[in-house]
Structure 1
Amino acid sequence: MGFADFRTALVTGASSGIGAATVRRLCAEGLEVYAVARDEGRLAALSAETGCRACAVDVNDLGALTQLAGSAEFDVLVNNAGQSRRSNILDTAPDDVDTLVDVNLRAVLHLTRVIVPGMAKRDRGHVVNISSIAGHYAFGENATTFNSSVAYHATKAGIHSLSRQLRVDLFGTRVRVTEVSPGRVATGIFQNPDVGGGGNDRFVGAFETLQPEDIADAIAFAVGSPMRMNVAMLEVIPIFQVVGDLRFARRTEAAQQTEIKKRS
């Protein structure tokens, strides 16, 4: 199994949610896990619970990431850290665009750039990128999910593209790349006021929702698979969630909307 070939792992966004659940699962599999996040208090508690190495690092700090990458030979990299905002391209704030690109995409590219070459040189390793169904599907405002921003969708689509290209770049090595694309998961993102009013009760309480441990189990399945096998992509959604949104407007409705916009 894959776990028998690996000794160390690095997990970003590790202080809560999917990241913390992944740290717990990988530690339980016997790996030495470097848990990366900004919240020192939560990391300390997680370290006391699991024995992981707490690394209070901002993923936007390239110098700190580079130093961390050189502190160990990482066999498993889980790019999990991410943020979301609520808006569309018509009203997205400049700061939101910058934050989402920096955290969701730029940090992943840099961390991959400084860690994966070592995996390739050792001919051993596994990269797990956490994307989102938002990177594959467009959501309308009437969708029964949070109306995440176009920048969020774009960054997660970038993670999907990165995962596919990384497999090409690593062809001929025994370094595997897995993209895990979750649907709705009961994490702190739904309690973020920037995502939309109502918080956890609105987006999680009334629905059948995945738990962070479900995604950690999916990651463990991929990492623990036989070395002859690469789980390229896992789309993991709740049993009562379906993706895709096809809508049509009647000509009269479209004309009415146009007239309303002209008057406003």
Structure 2
Amino acid sequence: MGFSDYRTALVTGASSGIGAATVRRLCAEGMEVHALARDARRLARLSAETGCRVCEIDVNDLGAVKQLAALVAFDILINNAGQSRRGTILEMAPDDVDTLVDVNLRAVLHLTRLIVPGMASRDRGHVVNISSIAGHYAFGENATTFNSSVAYHATKAGIHSLSQQLRVDLYGTRVRVTEISLGRVATSIFQNQNAVENPDARFVAGFETLQSEDIADAIAFAVGAPTPMNVAMIEVIPTFQVVGGLQFARRSEAAPVQDMTTGADNA
């Protein structure tokens, strides 16, 4: 199995960054690629360039997604669409929590339940879930180098768990599941290098970051693998980036412990 055995693919978050690079890569393999995103103008340009099919759909529009899944028998599903927010759980806005859960997790679950049963019945298919090292490691504020939040970490951990369980649910079929866990990638979040206009530019300027094409190549490697080989997980990080690490706050840096009964600080 590989590209020659697959005919159709659906890529979410396809209008820019990793999604657009993946559309280009799969189209170059001669596949019929459906590019799903909300930005009609960018999708039109991508279609003119690659010949992909435009799907101007919000991943949270369950009716539209359900209709698309009923119309096309997809051999490949690339769950790439995602959003990020900054902030600890102590300061996150309710709307930010809802957006991250809706886009990063809920939409992926619905796309999977709508498309994967058809793959299983045909005994052919590949699901690629784009996750993040944020789903596997905890980062401190100074170490994160991401525009991330606790809710973002939680949703990406959910994608990791989904990928693991999906392989169990598909046991005995030739439907493969790949999780690609990313480190720092120079996607649209960081495209503006002007630190005055975009404070997140400091996470890219001066660093060797991965490019969207690097991730598209990783996807192509997993999808193009022979039938007996399921590339279950790839962790893709820049050579100069390391994950993990230990942080230990000095006593003077630690927040005072408050006595909840009296309101007094017990530092």
Asked if these proteins are the same fold (TM beyond 0.5), I'd say: yes
User: Are 1:258 and 2:256 matched, yes or no?
Assistant: yes
| Deviation (angstroms), 1:190 | 2.6
Given that 1:77 and 1:128 are in contact with CA atoms closer than 8 Å, whether structure 2 keeps it comes out as yes
Question: Equivalent residue of 2:33, what SS?
Answer: strand
Aligned residue identity for 1:220: A
Residues 147 and 37 of structure 1: is their aligned pair in 2 closer, same or farther, counting only changes over 3 Å? Answer: closer
Match of 1:249 in 2: 249
Match of 2:78 in 1: 78
What aligned pairs does 1:69-108 form with structure 2 within 5 A after superposition?
69-108=69-108
Given that 2:84 and 2:147 are in contact with CA atoms closer than 8 Å, whether structure 1 keeps it comes out as no
What aligned pairs does 1:70-219 form with structure 2 within 5 A after superposition?
70-143=70-143, 145-190=145-190, 198-199=198-199, 201-219=201-219
Q: TM-score, normalised by structure 2?
A: 0.92
Comparing both structures, which one devotes a greater share of its residues to helix?
Answer: 1
Given that 1:138 and 1:245 are in contact with CA atoms closer than 8 Å, whether structure 2 keeps it comes out as no
| Deviation (angstroms), 1:191 | 5.3
Runs of 4 or more off by more than 4 Å in structure 1?
A: 259-262
Q: Which sections of structure 1, spanning at least 5 residues, go unmatched?
A: none
The separation in 1 between residues aligned to 2:176 and 2:152, in whole angstroms, is 26
| Deviation (angstroms), 1:201 | 3.1
What aligned pairs does 1:40-55 form with structure 2 within 5 A after superposition?
40-55=40-55
The separation in 2 between residues aligned to 1:247 and 1:147, in whole angstroms, is 19
The alignment-based identity, stated in percent, is 78
Match of 1:2 in 2: 2
Q: TM-score, normalised by structure 1?
A: 0.93
Question: Equivalent residue of 1:205, what SS?
Answer: coil
Q: RMSD of aligned C-alpha atoms?
A: 2.0
Given that 1:190 and 1:199 are in contact with CA atoms closer than 8 Å, whether structure 2 keeps it comes out as no
| Deviation (angstroms), 1:51 | 0.2
The separation in 1 between residues aligned to 2:147 and 2:78, in whole angstroms, is 26
Deviations 1:98-129 (A, max 9, x none): 00000000000000000000000000000000
Deviations 1:130-173 (A, max 9, x none): 00010000110111503511100000000000000000000000
Aligned residues between the structures: 258
Given that 2:147 and 2:200 are in contact with CA atoms closer than 8 Å, whether structure 1 keeps it comes out as no
Q: Which sections of structure 2, spanning at least 5 residues, go unmatched?
A: 259-263
Given that 1:139 and 1:147 are in contact with CA atoms closer than 8 Å, whether structure 2 keeps it comes out as no
| Deviation (angstroms), 1:88 | 0.5
Aligned residue identity for 1:51: G
Aligned residue identity for 2:8: T
